Copies of this chain bind each other. A is one copy, B any other.
Amino acid sequence: MALAFNLLQRGLFSKTGQCAASLLRLQSTQPAPAPQPVELLVPGEPDGPMMLTAHPGPQSDLLKAQLDEIQNTAALQFFCDYRKSIGNYLVDVDGNTMLDVFQQISSMPLGYNHPEIVDIFNDPETIACFANRPALGPLPPHNWVDLLKNTLLSVAPPGMTEVQTMLCGSTANENAFKACFIAYQTKKRGGAPPSQEELESVMYGKAPGAAQLSVLSFAGGFHGRTMGTLSASRSKAIHKADVPHFDWPMASFPKYKYPLDENVAYNQSQDINSLTQAEELMHHWATEKNMPVAIVILEPVQAEGGDNHCSNEFAKGLQQLSKKHGAAFFVDEVQTGGGPTGKMWAHEHWGLPYPPDVVSFSKKMLIGGYYYNKDLRPVEAYRIMNTWLGEPSKLLMLDKVIKVTKEKQLFEVVKASGSVLVQGMQDVSDKYPEKISNLRGKGTFLAYDCPNTRTRDSLVHWLRNNGIQTGGCGDHSVRMRPALIFQPHHAEIFLEAFEEGVKNLKVVG
């Protein structure tokens, strides 16, 4: 029977949100602090998970069979009741209530049904915004400039002042690629628009109009699933197989040993090897293949690829290399952006000497898009375009997210909850080093490794059946992606289940 369910049945979760269950754990290792009531950032949250059925439950199974008549359901986990979900708690159609530390693949900044978000629908102006989706390029709404200024620009990465909205992470990256390619070719022409020969040849998909340019990405990186971004994605073969690709270079990503402070020399050599390889590839693609690298793209943390981190020195070195070779330095913050590392943008941790040329976003920002260096703004109309180009209503919601983030100092909450998680998870890892290793991350953007894929999947499955919704990444890692309203007491609830899950976990071959 599920642990969290057991605990609830035994009344070990208090009604204030203060977690008695976690105290049990703390009591075993350290003196219990005096219990004190916790301010719930989302009023109405339950005291803890509550599992009523094995997972997925019968209602989910029934709906899955129906959906399978209509489309592939191989990735389906379960059906949710978003009407009943609240804050950090996701409720499924079988009435199971889970503490959600994955939050729709990291895309719900304030969790479910946050009152400030729900409240916007009481305003007729909001409804006009939701009911009339414009073609944003030619016909933006009256408040578009204000919306951009109050939301995306108010939290822009340091030094960046231009932004283009899009539909999702893939279209954000894909269009930012195009903007970089266009700028590269325009610069090569000394600022002139495409020549007649270029305009004619590109209609046949041929050079010189079809630019012979490439994107350098890193092993393990993930940048999207459209055919441009997919060509730069290097995380999982099944995403890519059978699809035509652009022949672009891939460099190795530094692979660190943890803990970092015990492996300094080894990790430095990883940085140097990757940077050296990146430069060799840039040289080779420019001189041998005649397809210069116009873009160097990386994630601050390779999320889909297994939560692989790189050092500040590596990022700085790569930016320097990009500048040297005339490539745009493109930071993909689709998964890291919006605060989960404790800063608005994860690349702020790097301390770069200059802003990146592109910072793309989606997920927690609720809308896809990218910030860009002014040199990347196209001159002509219709070069970066799409009917919808995103949706203004997403910025109405983002406005509330930013407001709540400031008012409730959510980045501080992220840091505090992250500290609790790190300490607790490290304790578990120390206790079961053969099962849990390489704990890493910043804020609540954390991950750890299991010995292999099957063992990892088994742990994720156990956690889900015991009231914790989490998600795998890479081959054998698990990633934490809670909302910004994930508080220390939620971390304690997680840790209780986590320790029990790891204790029960059998390493399988």
Is A40 in contact with chain B by the CB < 8 A criterion? no
Is A250 in contact with chain B by the CB < 8 A criterion? yes
Q: Are A386 and B170 in contact (CB under 8 A)?
A: yes
Write the nearest CB–CB distance from A52 to chain B, whole angstroms.
15
Given contacts A78-B139, A139-B80, contact A227 B225 (CB under 8 A): no
8 Å CB contacts to B: which residues of A100-148? Answer: 104-105, 107-108, 112-114, 117-118, 121, 124-125, 127-135, 137-142, 144-145, 148
The A interface, classified by DSSP as helix, strand, loop or mixed, is loop
Is A272 in contact with chain B by the CB < 8 A criterion? no
Write the nearest CB–CB distance from A370 to chain B, whole angstroms.
11
Write the nearest CB–CB distance from A360 to chain B, whole angstroms.
14
Task: Kindly identify which residue among B66, B162, B237 contacts A200, using a CB–CB cutoff of 8 Å.
Answer: B237
Q: Are B142 and A198 in contact (CB under 8 A)?
A: no
Tell me the bound Cα distance from A93 to B210 in angstroms: 40
Q: Are B168 and A209 in contact (CB under 8 A)?
A: no
Tell me the bound Cα distance from A80 to B241 in angstroms: 44
Is A204 in contact with chain B by the CB < 8 A criterion? yes
Tell me the bound Cα distance from A127 to B113 in angstroms: 9
Q: In the complex, what residues of B have CB within 8 A of residue A77's CB?
A: 138-139
Q: In the complex, what residues of B have CB within 8 A of residue A129's CB?
A: 82
Is A70 in contact with chain B by the CB < 8 A criterion? yes
Q: Are B70 and A161 in contact (CB under 8 A)?
A: yes
Is A1 in contact with chain B by the CB < 8 A criterion? no
Q: Are B164 and A71 in contact (CB under 8 A)?
A: yes
Task: Kindly identify which residue among B79, B132, B239, B245 contacts A140, using a CB–CB cutoff of 8 Å.
Answer: B79
The chain B residue sitting closest to A112, CB to CB, is B132
Is A508 in contact with chain B by the CB < 8 A criterion? no
Given contacts A231-B205, A242-B181, contact A168 B169 (CB under 8 A): no
Write the nearest CB–CB distance from A132 to chain B, whole angstroms.
4
Task: Kindly identify which residue among B80, B149, B234 contacts A142, using a CB–CB cutoff of 8 Å.
Answer: B80
Q: In the complex, what residues of B have CB within 8 A of residue A67's CB?
A: 140, 144-145, 148
Is A83 in contact with chain B by the CB < 8 A criterion? yes
Binds B, one of A19-27, A257-265, A376-384, A402-410: A376-384
Tell me the bound Cα distance from A140 to B107 in angstroms: 14
Q: In the complex, what residues of B have CB within 8 A of residue A198's CB?
A: 237, 241-242
A 212-236 binary contact with B (CB < 8 Å = 1; else 0): 1110000100000111100100101
Binds B, one of A172-180, A413-421, A424-432: A172-180
Is A388 in contact with chain B by the CB < 8 A criterion? yes
Q: In the complex, what residues of B have CB within 8 A of residue A127's CB?
A: 118, 121
The chain B residue sitting closest to A227, CB to CB, is B228
Q: Are A203 and B237 in contact (CB under 8 A)?
A: yes
Is A362 in contact with chain B by the CB < 8 A criterion? yes
Is A314 in contact with chain B by the CB < 8 A criterion? no
Q: Are A243 and B211 in contact (CB under 8 A)?
A: yes
Q: Are A234 and B177 in contact (CB under 8 A)?
A: no
Q: In the complex, what residues of B have CB within 8 A of residue A174's CB?
A: 226-227
Tell me the bound Cα distance from A385 to B133 in angstroms: 24
Is A41 in contact with chain B by the CB < 8 A criterion? no
Q: In the complex, what residues of B have CB within 8 A of residue A108's CB?
A: 132-133
The chain B residue sitting closest to A137, CB to CB, is B75
A 356-382 binary contact with B (CB < 8 Å = 1; else 0): 000000110010000000000111111
Tell me the bound Cα distance from A133 to B108 in angstroms: 8
- Beyond A66-B145, A75-B385, A121-B131, 5 additional contacts (C-beta under 8 Å) are A70-B149, A83-B124, A104-B139, A209-B240, A225-B386
- Could you jot down 21 A-B contacts, CB within 8 Å? A63-B144, A67-B148, A70-B153, A71-B162, A72-B381, A75-B138, A77-B138, A82-B134, A117-B131, A121-B131, A167-B171, A178-B243, A181-B243, A182-B242, A185-B241, A185-B242, A205-B231, A205-B247, A214-B244, A238-B382, A239-B383
The 6 closest A-B pairs by CB, nearest first: A227-B228, A74-B381, A210-B245, A199-B237, A205-B245, A185-B242
